[in-house]
Structure 1
């Protein structure tokens, strides 16, 4: 009989790429990233449980999702799903639009609390019912008592923070003794894997500042915003200094996946959103979206399956000492 976290993922939908394309149909590169990320985390939980390390790494409430954004990733990580009528891009164009009518399947597990600095992101998270509590706060000053949570989840957030020591110290403070800290972060090769950022640096070194500045505009700060890009061994050291023991880690997202994410349709995204909203007037949005999902899945499925190469991101399961 399955126990603990394994029961949450044993019967989840396996076509994760289609699942995320339904949400991020105008950003297929992001859908590819999130589907691989979800698969990596789910497989880690499954493998750890089967290896009987579950007692060490089991995800328990009270739990918090730090830097939760709109809550969509946490919702879908634990098996939540939406029908084709759900559209996060329409919501971003309208402050009154609601997700809640488009939910099709609730997740098997919820983090109790979602925390983010952005009010609008938290509002969207509340619209889908992603958490029980929604907190707007700075991660450098978390509004919780010491030892408040059994589990802290933090997906692609702490590498963006200038003061890594302070962030890890705050996370350590709010976790109970032997609590679980699950996070994803960029590693040493991430910036090299990007398409625009290396182009920017190379052109500037050669003196082509105009071309470099154009490339930097397309980069949109992705390279420079990932402040901490360390090898796994260095991440383990940083976590160790903060009072965490890394019990498991796994690299994911090889170069070709990150470059697809960095290019894709991202540059055209603002225009695509406007066109997609215009389609609503003619009742064509959902039919066009359906066709787009099928085509993008055909194009991206080979990349989803081919994950060979050194990953530019890493998943870390840690325990508070």
Structure 2
């Protein structure tokens, strides 16, 4: 969805991703509620993007099925990134990934990204680093007695146990170098304040909001959604600067632009 929007696409107000979810009752058992699709899942596209993506991959077939509904990708492949990429050498001018840190065999995956990049190509890799743990570490170390472990576990919802790899920025740079990738640019994508808003936000009550919204008649749901969008836009737009934070803290996420050596 994000790539579609960033490429210039837009959806009608009556559509959102919450129409195809499952396991809402098992949300706090760490189930992925978005790993689902349905027969009536049909994005309402108001504007087509001004460009397309050649190839997309994911290891969850329902997510690929939903991506196919966008008619935005020339090819879609189900693939486990712990295995070699199913593409020939030097195929791509551009590679984008925001999930490298989830891959268990991260060294192989970085080697494979270097292999499939054209000699004059660029990779754009969004990598979370160890600073993403600062908030939860603070809760566990300083506030567990006051908040209780149930509160902290509800906020975390098992995610911190499933990051396959979190390294310091310096360690990520060493791994990129070892994979044969030169870093030509790096920039923080979010601050720790943004990361907390994204990771927490309304997440703990999202199953109930989804169930409530989709129990409404469609017209009523769309009307309420428009009010939500108007209010949330006013609240969040001032915070959208990539450097906004309420204290001076290192970024938990950096996008590295890399080229093959």
What TM-score does the superposition give when structure 2 sets the normalisation length?
0.84
For residue 247 of structure 1, what is the aligned residue in structure 2? Answer: 184
Residue in structure 2 matching 1:297, options 213, 225, 233: 233
Unaligned runs of 5+ in 1: 1-71
Please, which moves more after superposition, 211-220 or 271-280? 211-220
Counterpart Cα distance in 1 of 2:174 and 2:14: 45
Q: Map 1:226-245 to 2 at 5 A.
A: 226-245=163-182
1:133 to 2:75 alignment: yes
Contact in 1 for aligned 2:19/2:41 (Cα 8 Å): no
Contact in 2 for aligned 1:114/1:135 (Cα 8 Å): yes
Contact in 1 for aligned 2:82/2:103 (Cα 8 Å): no
Instruction: Tell me by how many angstroms 1:128 deviates.
Output: 1.2
For residue 164 of structure 1, what is the aligned residue in structure 2? Answer: 106
Unaligned runs of 5+ in 2: 23-36
Residue-by-residue CA offset, 1:110-144 (whole Å, 9 max, x unaligned): 22011000000001101111211110011122222
For residue 93 of structure 2, what is the aligned residue in structure 1? Answer: 150
For residue 320 of structure 1, what is the aligned residue in structure 2? Answer: 260
Instruction: Tell me by how many angstroms 1:213 deviates.
Output: 4.8
Residue in structure 1 matching 2:133, options 188, 191, 197: 191
Aligned length: 242
Contact in 2 for aligned 1:75/1:107 (Cα 8 Å): yes
Q: Map 1:42-81 to 2 at 5 A.
A: 72-81=1-10
Residue-by-residue CA offset, 1:148-187 (whole Å, 9 max, x unaligned): 22221102x0112222211112222222223211111112
Counterpart Cα distance in 2 of 1:266 and 1:232: 27
Aligned residue for 1:226, secondary structure, equals coil
1:85 to 2:14 alignment: yes
Counterpart Cα distance in 2 of 1:254 and 1:231: 15
Higher helix share: 1
Counterpart Cα distance in 2 of 1:137 and 1:273: 29
Q: Map 1:98-113 to 2 at 5 A.
A: 98-100=41-43, 102-113=44-55
CA RMSD of aligned residues (A): 2.3
Residue-by-residue CA offset, 1:184-239 (whole Å, 9 max, x unaligned): 111231111x3x454245567x7x9x932552243112323334333433322211
Contact in 2 for aligned 1:114/1:134 (Cα 8 Å): yes
Contact in 2 for aligned 1:186/1:226 (Cα 8 Å): no
1:174 to 2:116 alignment: yes
Residue-by-residue CA offset, 1:38-61 (whole Å, 9 max, x unaligned): xxxxxxxxxxxxxxxxxxxxxxxx
Contact in 2 for aligned 1:197/1:216 (Cα 8 Å): no
What TM-score does the superposition give when structure 1 sets the normalisation length?
0.69
Residue in structure 2 matching 1:219, options 156, 170, 175: 156
Aligned residue for 1:92, secondary structure, equals coil
